[in-house]
Amino acid sequence: MCGIIGCTGRETETLDVLLHGLDTLEYRGYDSAGVALANGTVEVCKREGEIDRLRAAVDPAMDGPVGIGHTRWSTHGPPTDENAHPHTDCTGDVAVVHNGIIENYDELKAELTAAGHEFESDTDTEVVPHLVEDALADGLSRDEAFRSAVARIEGSYALAAVFAGSEAILATREGSPLVVGVGDDAAYLASDVPAFLEYTDRVVYLDDGEFARLESGSWTVTDAEGRLLEKSISQVEWDAEETAKSGYDHYMLKEIHEQPRALRKCLRGRVDELTGTVDVEALEGLTAESVQFVACGTSYHAALYGAQRLQAAGVPAQAFLASEYATAPAPVSEGTLVVGVTQSGETADTLAALRRAQARGVETLAMTNVVGSTAARDCDRTLLIRAGPEIGVAATKTFSSQVVACNLLSATLADRGDSREIVQALRDLPGQIQEVLDSSRAEAVAERFVDSDGYFFIGRGHQHPVALEGALKMKEITYKHAEGFPAGELKHGPLALVTARTPVFAIVTGTDEEATKTVGNVKEVEARDAPVVAVTDGASTVDRYADAVLELPETEPCVAPVLANVQLQLVAYHVANKLGRSIDKPRNLAKSVTVE
């Protein structure tokens, strides 16, 4: 949550770089934004609201050789100009931006106030520049003062500071991501690579407890005691075009349409349809007696699916909400594998759950989209889902890629004898998704039901996680009430909420027992006058009882959920669009949740 951008060495272009970076990072936080540029003095401009308000307020002549910027997702204090970052000390010579939470800020603020410091905001962040100010007054250098301030704070943070009379950015992290961008004559800092990808694709990932100093194209990384560290430079495979809208009205719609490409990348070099085998280098030699998935939000729904796939293959598996597992982990034994499913690789609850597992001596695997993320660096193994950058807050293509990656993991850990059919279905999946995208009637369904009081989503087996995910997408971007249930659970309580103004989306594929029983549940809904939208491959009789049908190509039962999910993504998108919602930046939400 929240986005940081910094630049030094670009001379008169610093402000442009900061504003561009903030535009790119707006998915991380968008209730206020600000910049600070340093030359002989520090100039700050910040505004409540989206970045366009900052852009309108900032003086184009405001520039300098070094600067930092921030886009905020509120944790302390409401969105106001005063609470926006950057924050400064009493002298105005130190400016700081911060992601995360400072847990002992009340104590520090009381101490600083008693010493005569004046505060202008409700934020926890503002204690940092005042701590730096005190350390400078004691005769410490800027680097020493910054370290001294950081040593006094507790919590999770990514911090960056600039100073009057200096062209350096000082930065550190603890539990919140920071990455250095290495240019030929400039250096960059950001909480996520896309912020500076237009300028350089060479990056250095900071680890917890490390400090970076950036100045006019040079950079160094040290530990908490100031000892120089050797850090390798990585090359980012994404390009700047992948983070643009490319003619789509919203990033979310673009990313829904990118799913065929994303899945091809996820599968490339990992499956052989001629032999029906899966060979993933990152999983070579991996064995497990049991598997525990930990995840949050959309990733948790992918984890539920992954657990089902492994259970069906004869491997004991469970999915846990990471926030619960971190405080009350399930029992483990020798041979337990804990898999953290996290799009960003920076989700605080998932990282906490993985660290709890590591402390108990079990092997960990990160299933993530981001090379060099904290999860990827901390876990014993990493299975990259290769979805490419996802800017929209509501996850779409990353869910599909996670589901496919779960199939790769399942095929690696167990052999059910049907791998050839599954591999072929996975190879066909990108083309079938394109077929859904080209022919979907989701917009017409959205038009018909846009004024509904609420929405229900039901499915059995592998379709249950998709029912949950369909409801989550509807909630996230339309702000409408939506719930997902195992189809058989409707009659155990939720049926009391079903009315003529609550459409039920029923996911039914194939003709097996699950499909037959779900058709029976649809009849229960129909008998209570609720409209039914069938998401189906047409193999069952469900369309006879449906008011509308969203069609799916026929495929293997374990792969069909991905196709059903694409239809539900499109429905949620079109309902939100017709309601005029902020689709890419839904209220109160942020893309990367780096606080517990």
Beta carbons within 8 Å of 377's beta carbon, 6+ residues apart: 205, 207
Question: What distance lies between CA 127 and its chain's CA centroid?
Answer: 28
Rounded Cα distance between 411 and 515, Å, is 25
- Residues 6 or more apart whose Cβ sits within 8 Å of residue 376: 345, 366, 368, 370, 382, 384
Backbone Cα Rg of the chain: 25
Strands (E), 191-334: 202-205, 211-215, 218-222, 234-235, 271-272, 277-278, 290-295, 317-321
Closest CA to 264 of 413, 434, 462, 440: 434
7 is catalytic: no
Q: How far apart are CA 227 and CA 90, in angstroms?
A: 31
Amino acid at 5: I
Of 293, 331, 297, the residue nearest 315 (C-alpha): 293
Report phi then psi at 419, rounded to 5. Answer: -65, -35
Confirm if 299 and 342 have CB atoms less than 8 A apart. Answer: yes
**For this structure, is 480 an active site residue?**
no
CA distance 257 to 469: 18
**Separation in Å, CA 153 to CA 156, 270, 514:** 9, 45, 54
Q: What length does the chain have?
A: 596
Nearest to 7 by CA among 64, 59, 97, 68: 68
Q: For residue 389, is the peptide bond before it cis, meaning its omega torsion is within 30 degrees of 0?
A: no
Beta strands in 138-196 (DSSP E): 155-163, 168-174, 179-182, 187-190
Token pair 């499956």 is found at 271
What is the C-alpha separation between 88 and 590, in angstroms, rounded? 25
Residue 231 DSSP SS3: coil
Catalytic residue (one of 109, 254, 475, 591): 591
Classify 36 as helix, strand or coil.
strand
* Side chain identity at residue 595, one-letter code: V
The token pair that represents 346 in the structure block: 């920076």
Cα–Cα separations (whole angstroms), residue 498 to 259, 482, 508, 531, 545: 33, 12, 19, 10, 16
CA dihedral of 288, 395, 472, 592, whole degrees rounded to 10: 80
Tokens of 108: 């520090």
Structure tokens at 175: 């539990």
Token pair of 371 as six digits: 């090379």
Q: How far, rounded to the nearest angstrom, does the alpha carbon of residue 447 sit from its chain's CA centroid?
A: 29
Tell me the catalytic residues. 2, 591
